[in-house]
Amino acid sequence: MRWAVVTFPGSNCDQDCVDQLGRVLNQDVVSVWHGDSELPEVDCVLLPGGFSYGDYLRAGSIARFSPIMKAVTAFANKGGFVLGICNGFQILLEAGLLPGAMQRNIGLSFICESVSLKVENKSSALTCQVPSDTQVLEIPIAHMEGNYTADEETLKALNENGQVLFRYCTEQGNVNDAANPNGSAGNIAGISNANGNVFGMMPHPERASENILGGTDGAYLFQSLIATMEGQR
């Protein structure tokens, strides 16, 4: 499969994603500059973490106007797979490719730690390769604005349609306030769009994809997308 990893001014996880996809998962990866107006022919677009444009105004609010985002939006609207990680998730929200918005963490401080994630939907293209006996993933977060919010109607639709993919939880899989690091509504850590081809998550799977990094749970998510895309060929 061929992936495009987009670099914005302030991205700092783009090369991590390129490395994990290319070296670890043997994928064909092309780096794309935010100022480009067209995407190469790819199967999936990845918007990485970082602090695009210094997170001025709101995280992702300037990056969503980068020229490449018109091409990303067109790609997504045609059914192409798009994954936004951390700042990439924020950009997808600002661009309207995913519902809801991000606020600053409830403690108003930057958080960098490993968290437990309950996998709520194992039938999505991003989670279908998570083992059946695995309910909780350990993946790190690193963000200032990860407090996901949406109106009641949107939250209801996300829950009813299986669009909530991950929730912050305890190591035992209990979803509660104590396990919520940023105040996110319903402990939401990752969602998809209604069509199931656009995904956003605050945790960083590229930082948990091989043993030398301390864990491999993040690899399940990349493997899921790869398997889904291969199955559609």
Active-site residue flag, 128: no
Q: Would you state the structure tokens that stand for residue 130, as one six-digit string?
A: 């998570």
Catalytic one of 44, 86, 94, 143: 86
- DSSP-derived secondary structure for 95-142: TTSSSSEEE--TTSS-EEEEEEEEE--TTSTTTTTS-TT--EEEEEEE
pLDDT reported for residue 56: 85
Burial 23-56 (b: 16+ CB within 10 A, else e): eebebebeebebeeeebeebbbbbbbbbbbbebe
Q: What percent of the chain has pLDDT over 90?
A: 96
In this predicted structure, what is the pLDDT of residue 218? 97
Worst-scoring range by mean pLDDT, 43-52, 53-62, 111-120, 221-230?
53-62
Active site (annotated) includes residue 206: yes
pLDDT the model gives residue 57? 84
Average the pLDDT over 191-218 and give the result: 96
pTM over 0.95: yes
17 given a catalytic annotation: no
The confidence score (pLDDT) of residue 109 equals 95
Q: Of these residues, 94, 120, 145, 206, which one is catalytic?
A: 206
- Domains of the chain and CATH, by start: 2-232 (3.40.50.880)
